[in-house]
Structure 1
Amino acid sequence: MLQYPVAPGLFERRAELADTFNSAVPCRHVVIDDFLDAEYAQRLYEDLPQPDEMPKSRDYMFSDKRELSTLDRHSEISRQLHDVFMSKEFAEFLEPLARHEVFIDPEYVGGGFHAGAEGSFLDLHCDFNIHPAHQDWLREFNILLYLNPGWQPEWGGHLLLTDDPSVPTIEVEPRFNRLVIMESTDRSFHGYKRISFPPGRSRRSIAAYAYSIVPVGSISRHTTNWVPRDGSPFKRVLAKNWNWIVLTKNKFFGSGTLKNRR
């Protein structure tokens, strides 16, 4: 087996982790602590682009976050993580979770480096299902690597998960070197509440998305579906119609998720 900067024996645990994933509620997911080799994880954190070097997401009106999808070419350090995600071993690791073949988007559209500064938030939502640039790519998994050393619960920023926005969510702490793999469906609502990190700190993560191949036109395309729990009546009406607004905008001006590979 090729050597990658992941914890020893991780790939061999795929059957056990698949059982955890497929039995999890309310959305299928699995939490993997110490995903990366500890020394490499620290180097990766120190090498992250600064939030002010990253553009603000254009298609996420119901949030306040920055993203930059250049994991494959930001540095040699981040390239090593890209190589993990692109490897045959990682694809085989994901296959028992999906029960069929999946692959990672090599350009990290909508993913890559994510940062949320003091006061940032991400309202509950389900992600777009069909890739903006590939009509036969169906999104299957969100793969979220958290890089928040010394994280404290009072800072907030927990990943919220539910299959029904009207009921309480479960919360996953965004601890350092923690990987969360969660299904991406029309019912996998997720987000995080407004955070209160110390000055100079931000909520950091790296996101990759797994896809499968489906016949073109076999699944109705939708963009991000938002269900904000707080806010004005105008915000709620806007969220309800957001899918139509963004699809119309993309038709004429293109997707903002395709414009952050500087």
Structure 2
Amino acid sequence: MNYINEAIGDLKTYGQKHSEDYKTADPFPSIYFDNFFNPDVLHSVLDEFPDMSKKPDLQFNDPNQIKLASKGEGRFGERTKLFMHYLNSQPFLEFLTELTGIENLIPDPFYDGGGCHQIQPGGMLKLHADFNKHPKTKLDRRINVLVYLNEDWDESYGGHFELWDTEMKGARKRILPLFNRMAMFSTTSNSYHGHPNPLTCPPDRSRKSLALYYYTNGRPVEEQEVSDADHNTIFKYRAEDKKARALTSLKETAKLWIPPILIGGRHKEKAG
């Protein structure tokens, strides 16, 4: 099966052609492509996109995020599984290397944090820098790839993927999540990005995407200087996000003072 749009041609050559645009992008190395994939393939993936709305373990709902996300590939349909495996294959990895200049990329067969993502009306994901080490392999996270699956997506629906400067003064790039649009960027401890505004699409619509992450064994010294320590997701707040910041701070303070056994008991009671 041909996963790539025939108009793209040779993947390695295409990566070389756009490499300078990627490396010099503002506010950090990034790019997006339209009509990159065979649309028939993406339609087949969309047709089997999993319903995660009734699965508590796939729901994230806190001041920083309201979203749904799969875990592993257990909920992938057969065509989705083949497509995701292709994005972890040699030809696509070589394309990423030519585009980004990052060599010896390693895909994530666990899809830890990746996979199928969905945001329903009112949902959002505040601005953040991603975790920098794979939880299992401890490899360094280097590239994010996002494939959007939203047909007939109107600008008024929102859902823009935003890339922000390190001073958090404003979005330097806003990308509408259109069908067959692929966005990618280099993942560092200050590559702040997200979907910070609540989604305003009609109630029968949602923002769907596929997320894949790529790793290396080690990272450049200049990236280590930003943050050499392992860290989870680092949320950053705009002036209008003061409420989320206050609630997050309160939650973290509670963790310091409430005995772990009580927190664990609360979680168990909620799950029951």
Quick check: TM above 0.5? Answer: yes
Q: 2:233 aligns with which of 217, 220, 224?
A: 224
The reply to whether residue 119 of structure 1 matches residue 117 of structure 2 is no
Cα gap change, 1:10 to 1:110, in 2 (>3 Å): farther
Contact 2:64 2:125 in 1 (8 A): yes
> 2:50, 2:75 within 8 Å by CA — same for their partners in 1?
no
1:196 paired residue number: 200
1:1-262 to 2 correspondence within 5 Å? 4-8=2-6, 9=9, 11=11, 12-54=13-55, 55-57=58-60, 61-71=63-73, 74-96=76-98, 97-135=100-138, 137-169=139-171, 170-192=173-195, 193-214=197-218, 219-229=228-238, 230-232=240-242, 235-236=245-246, 238=248
| Structure 1, unaligned runs of 5 or more | 254-262
1:234 Cα deviation from its structure 2 partner = 7.1
CA distance in 1, matches of 2:168, 2:187: 19
Distance in 1 (alpha carbons) for counterparts of 2:38 and 2:54: 27
Preserved contact between residue 71 and residue 78 of structure 1 (Cα < 8 Å) = no
TM-score scaled by length of structure 1: 0.83
Separation (CA, whole Å) in 1 of partners of 2:233 and 2:250: 11
Q: Which residue of 2 aligns with 1:258?
A: none
SS in 2 for 1:51: coil
> How far 1:16 sits from its partner (Å)?
1.3
Residue 164 of structure 1, CA deviation: 2.2
Q: Cα deviation per residue 1:145-177 (whole Å; 9 max; x = unaligned)?
A: 011000000000000101325311020111101
The AA in structure 1 aligned to 2:230 is R
Relative distance call for 1:239 and 1:159 in structure 2 (3 A) is farther
For 1:21 and 1:46, the matched residues in 2 are separated by 31
TM-score (normalised: structure 2): 0.80
- Taking the aligned partners of 1:113 and 1:105, their CA distance within structure 2 comes to 14
8 Å contact 2:116–2:209 — kept in the other structure? yes
CA–CA distance in 2 between the matches of 1:84 and 1:185? 25
What is the RMSD computed on CA atoms of the aligned residues? 2.7
Does the Cα contact within 8 Å between 1:165 and 1:227 map onto a contact in 2?
Answer: no
**Contact map agreement 1:69 1:109 (CA 8 A) in 2:** yes
CA contact (8 A) 1:144 1:179 kept: yes
Supply the AA of the counterpart residue of 1:20: D
Identity, in percent, stands at: 26
SS at match of 1:149: coil
After superposition, the C-alpha distances for 1:108-133 in whole angstroms (9 at most, x for unaligned) are 10010000001001111000001111
Instruction: Encode CA deviations 1:91-146: one digit per residue, 9 max, x unaligned.
Output: 111112143221221111001000000100111100000111122x0000111001
Which sections of structure 2, spanning at least 5 residues, go unmatched?
Answer: 265-272
- SS of corresponding position for 1:64: strand
Verify the 8 A CA contact 1:32 1:180 in the aligned structure 2. yes
- Alignment match, 2:269: none
The aligned length equals 241
Separation (CA, whole Å) in 2 of partners of 1:156 and 1:113: 19
Q: 1:207 to 1:240 in 2, by over 3 A?
A: farther
* 1:228 partner SS: coil
Q: Does the CA-based 8 Å contact 2:72-2:112 persist in structure 1?
A: no
Alpha-carbon deviation of 1:241? 9.2
Q: Is the 8 A contact 1:4 1:80 kept in 2?
A: no
Shift of 1:85: 1.5
Distance 1:72 1:33 in 2: 28
- CA pair 123-234 structure 1, distance change in 2 beyond 3 A: closer
1:68 Cα offset (Å): 0.2
